[in-house]
Structure 1
Amino acid sequence: MQTPADLLATLPLGTRVVVRRRTGEGFADSLGDLVALDASSCTVRTRSRGDDVVMLGDITAARTVPPAPPRRSPRRPPTGDGRVRG
């Protein structure tokens, strides 16, 4: 059976992944692009936290995920006359 670390080792850098790891309080997920991998850790570039370094020994699950949807443009405030700007 393939371990999560073995799966990560087969993926090209830039692949979008989710990695679950053990923490002191339970578990945490890192969702983003796999940007680095060595013998002891991997780095996932997330939108919210930036580069997240995860020790391979702490990983309990990993998988590839589809590309992120495009970000929505910000909503514009109403014009004050009942119409919404477009």
Structure 2
Amino acid sequence: MTTPAAALLMEIPLGTRVVVRYRIDGGLTDALGELSARDSATCTVSGRRGDVVVPLEKVTAAKPVPPPPPRRAPRRAAGN
């Protein structure tokens, strides 16, 4: 059975930045990054920590998100 969130993931273009919430043992977790691959059973989200392959049957929510904010410049030490 396909959830509405999993159906949305099938429509979002590859390369779009997404957040996907899915069930794991003991609760829920999120994958944030670029939607890099998908097939009839899974989607792959490529983020900072590498690729996460998510079974579509475990997806509870998903949506496109804006690009990350630009990185801040490093702070200077006081007195420099």
TM-score normalised to the size of structure 1? 0.81
May I ask how many residue pairs the two structures share in their alignment?
78
Q: 1:76 Cα deviation (Å)? A: 4.1
| Identical pairs, percent | 56
User: C-alpha distance in 2, partners of 1:74/1:25?
Assistant: 38
Q: Name the SS for the 2:9 alignment partner.
A: helix
**What are the equivalent positions in structure 2 for 1:40-55 lying under 5 Å apart?**
40-47=41-48, 49-55=49-55
Which of the pair has more CA radius of gyration?
1
Higher relative contact order (CA 8 A, sep 6+): 2
- What is the match of residue 68 of structure 1? 68
Q: Where does the alignment leave 5 or more consecutive residues of structure 1 unmatched? A: none
The offset of 1:25, in angstroms, is 1.4
Instruction: Let me know the Cα RMSD of the aligned residues.
Output: 1.4
How far did residue 72 of structure 1 move? 2.0
Kindly provide the amino acid, as one letter, of the partner of residue 30 in structure 2: D
2:25 aligns to what?
A: 24
